[in-house]
Amino acid sequence: MNLNQVTLPVKDMPAATEFYLKLGFTQIVDTPHYARFQCPEGEATFSLSLNEEDFSNGAVIYFEHQGLDLWVTELKQKGINFEQEPTDQSYLWREAVLSDPSGNKIKLYWAGENRLNPPWRVDKHAQ
């Protein structure tokens, strides 16, 4: 099994599309009510769905990049605003936090080996 995609609600499709293109994603579907993007590395995709009604999305979408600090610097030069600069977290990830134009929370991060193998990883053989 593999995760296919995550779909985020957006209030303004053109503004959201422009935002994700600035982040460096490749757009593979473009309609007035739906857009789909491929990540620059690998085959992962995510999509946007137009939702003109008020909504509150509690989900957080994470995008991983080994060169996090340089990526954040480049995005700031493109006019992207961050709520949190790259910061080392207690759970051994380095994260920067921002929101898209519709208020969806995004974390850009680098976790390296700790993403799949943190020191506290569950040992399925011990259960």
Q: What is the pLDDT of residue 126?
A: 62
pLDDT < 50 stretches in the chain:
none
Element of type H or E holding 13: helix 13-23
Contact between 35 and 13 under an 8 Å Cβ cutoff? The reply is: yes
- The model's pLDDT over 87-100, given as tens digits with 9 standing for 90+, comes to 999 999 999 999 99
Element of type H or E holding 124: none
Whole-angstrom distance, CA of residue 94 vs CA of residue 81: 18
Query: Phi, psi at residue 41, to the nearest 5°?
Result: -120, 140
Domains, the chain: 7-112 (3.10.180.10)
User: In this structure, which amino acid lies at residue 23?
Assistant: L
pTM: 0.91
